Amino acid sequence: MSATGQALTAPGETWVSAGRSVTDVAFGHEGGMRWWYAFAASLALVGVLAVCVVWVSYQGVGVWGNNIPVTWAIDIVGYDWWIGVACGALATSSLLLLLNISWRGAVNRITEAVAVIAAASAGLYPIIHLGRSWFFYWNLPYPNTFLLWPQFRSPLFWDAIDIISFLGVAVSLAYTGMLPDLAAMRDRAVDAMDQYGARQGAWTLRLKAQLYGIAALGWRGSVTHWHRWDHAYRTIAALGVIVVIALQTGAAVMFAGVPEPGWHDVISPVAFTSLSLWAGAGVVSAVLVIMRAVFPLKALITPRHLSMLALLLLGLGWANLYCYAAEMLTPLLSGTAYDTAVLARRFHGPHAWAAWSIIVCGLVPVQVFWLPRLRRSPMVLGVAGLLVAFAAWADHFMVIVVTLQHDFLPSADALYQMDVVGVGTFLGTIGLFLLLLLLFLRYMPVMSIAGLRQVVPHG
């Protein structure tokens, strides 16, 4: 029982039942056919991604709708959004851990998974969006006979380093956090082998025991193990917070560091970071709600957890609103004509839908969470999470496309229109995300058993 009086688990949950509930997901294949339908749909989207990537690589990025001046369009929008979701998820997980928040056990596993998987979707773009993607490694500092180095002043170079660091930290955090649970999975498989003996299906249990066992790196649950694990987990979480801030501020400087109107803004790093937290929280909320609906985990993901996430979305919504207000007030107060013109085009130009989407899909919907009843509604939380995620996408679109389309010289503008291959590529990355997420949900401990056991009574 927590101090607020609301239960973090359903009454009657014990150490054993909590562990069993989580491992049942992997061992019992609770999703059943629904999992397979979702898997097939995701696989189809990954097929779309494969076709688009092959086509882009073969023909050139001209198969997308990008032009001059809109050299970055939904390719970089997609990248910034995915890496924003990943950063948001990683930061949420890391902060919950570092602040020792008691309810994190239910959510931090899935936030860590979302961080890794979204980063994988994001990681495609910096490579395939290049005009000559086969030279992507020139962005990295590696010894070469030409003695050529990347250009260290470029935020794009920082970004390349940031992504690689991010992947390292996110994978480390997720994997480290999972170690005790992988051992639990191993033990569960061994238990099942004992239970079933030599009956049919035993060989798959053996295989599972071996694979989970290897993945668990010999975890035996000794006090020393727990002690070191706790240190490592928290240290990596601290690194996670740092890498998220570095990545998001770096990505922001990619825009803020140039004189372009609408980009050149000191609030940009803060705005990027808070937007990424918001988007990450939105996607995590949606995934958690779906997970809760599909798998028998309602006893472990309680209305209290939903309520916490809803409050997070609401609070971050206000943080973002503050950033938007600052972004709008700066040009209005400074009176710089180019900046005010970009501001006007954001709300009144050919892509005004993007700015209005931020308000209609992001800033407004989260206000429903002022009502405690709606905070506890999984349906409302899931929909709001997805809407916030879309609003974050629209924000990146607004920032990138509206400025590029018409910056200083009106003679240089050209209309950008979204195109089939570009949209297909983005949908394909969603497919990749879903596919990896489904595989994770199917085979991995979807919640932190160790974390849950800290909040359920011993039994």
Partner 1 sequence: MSRQWRSLDQLADTPAFRQFLAREFPAVTDLCRGPERRQFLKLMAASLALAGLSGCDDPPDPRDQEVPYVNNPLRALPGTTLQFASAALLDGVANGVLVTVRDGRPLKIEGNPDHPWSRGGTDVFGQASILDLYDPARSQTVRHLGEASDWQTFRGMTLGTLAAIRAGAGNLRLLTGPVTSPALRAQIAAMQQVFPGLRWHSHAPAAAGYDSTRRVFGRALETRWRFDQARILVSLDGDVLDPGPHQVGASRDWAAARHASAQAGRLLPLYHAGSLPNLTSAKADDTVPATPAEMVALASALLDGTALPPGPVEQWRARVAAALQANRGAALVLAGSTAAPAVQDAVHRLNAAFGNPVVYTAPVAEPAEPLDALVADMAAGRVQALVMLDTNPAYDSQAALGFNDALQRVALKIHAGLYVDETAVRSDWHLPLAHPLESWADARSMDGTVSLIQPVTDPIYDGRAPAEILSLLMDPQPQAGRDLLRAHWRDLDDNAWDAALRSGFVAGSAFPAEPAVARAAPPASAAPDGLTLLFRPDPAIWDGRHSNNGWLQELPKPLTKMVWENAYTVSPALAKRAGIAHGDVIRVHLDGRNVEGPAWIMPGQADQTIGVTLGYGRTIPDMLSTGAGYDAYVLRDPASPWQASGARIEKTGRRITFTTTQDHNTMDGHDFVRVQHEDAAPVGETGSWTQPTMFTHQRADDGRAWGMVIDLDTCTGCNACVTACQAENNIAVVGKEQVALGREMHWLRIDRYYDGAEDAPKTHFQPVPCMHCEDAPCEVGCPVEATLHDSEGLNLMVYNRCVGTRACSGYCPYKVRRFNYLDYSAGAAPSLQQQRNPDVTVRARGVMEKCTYCVQRIAAARIEADKGGGQIPDGAVQTACQSACPTQAISFGDLADKTSAVAAARADSRNYALLGELNVRPRTTYLAERAPRGIAG
- Binding site residues, partner 1, CB under 8 A: 59-63, 65-72, 129-133, 135-136, 138-139, 148-151, 153-157, 160, 254, 257-260, 337, 341, 404, 406-416
Tell me how far apart the alpha carbons of residues 21 and 438 are, in angstroms, rounded to a whole number.
18
The CA–CA distances, whole Å, from 252 to 121, 168, 260, 283 equal: 20, 21, 13, 21
Q: Which is nearer to partner 1, 133 or 235 (CB)?
A: 133
Residue 354 near residue 402, CB atoms below 8 Å: yes
CB 138, min distance to partner 1, A: 5
Distance from the Cα of residue 292 to its chain's centroid? 18
Neighbours of 369 (CB within 10 A): 23
Q: Which is nearer to partner 1, 132 or 199 (CB)?
A: 132
Tell me how far apart the alpha carbons of residues 414 and 160 are, in angstroms, rounded to a whole number.
29
CB 404, min distance to partner 1, A: 6
Q: Which is nearer to partner 1, 124 or 291 (CB)?
A: 124
CB 433, min distance to partner 1, A: 24
CB 133, min distance to partner 1, A: 8
CB 36, min distance to partner 1, A: 40
Q: Which is nearer to partner 1, 81 or 390 (CB)?
A: 81
Query: Among residues 447, 333, 344, which one has the least CA distance to residue 18?
Result: 447
Q: Which is nearer to partner 1, 81 or 255 (CB)?
A: 255
Tell me how far apart the alpha carbons of residues 145 and 46 are, in angstroms, rounded to a whole number.
38
Q: Which is nearer to partner 1, 158 or 219 (CB)?
A: 158
Tell me how far apart the alpha carbons of residues 330 and 257 are, in angstroms, rounded to a whole number.
16
Q: Which is nearer to partner 1, 332 or 414 (CB)?
A: 414
CB 126, min distance to partner 1, A: 8
CB 201, min distance to partner 1, A: 52
CB 46, min distance to partner 1, A: 25
The CA–CA distances, whole Å, from 255 to 47, 264, 268, 352 equal: 33, 7, 8, 20
Q: Which is nearer to partner 1, 55 or 175 (CB)?
A: 55
CB 432, min distance to partner 1, A: 22
CB 27, min distance to partner 1, A: 46
The CA–CA distances, whole Å, from 346 to 351, 399, 451 equal: 7, 8, 44
Q: Which is nearer to partner 1, 250 or 280 (CB)?
A: 250
Strand (E) or helix (H) holding 330: helix 303-334
Q: Which is nearer to partner 1, 96 or 160 (CB)?
A: 160
Q: Which is nearer to partner 1, 142 or 196 (CB)?
A: 142
CB 350, min distance to partner 1, A: 11
CB 151, min distance to partner 1, A: 4
Q: Which is nearer to partner 1, 148 or 371 (CB)?
A: 148
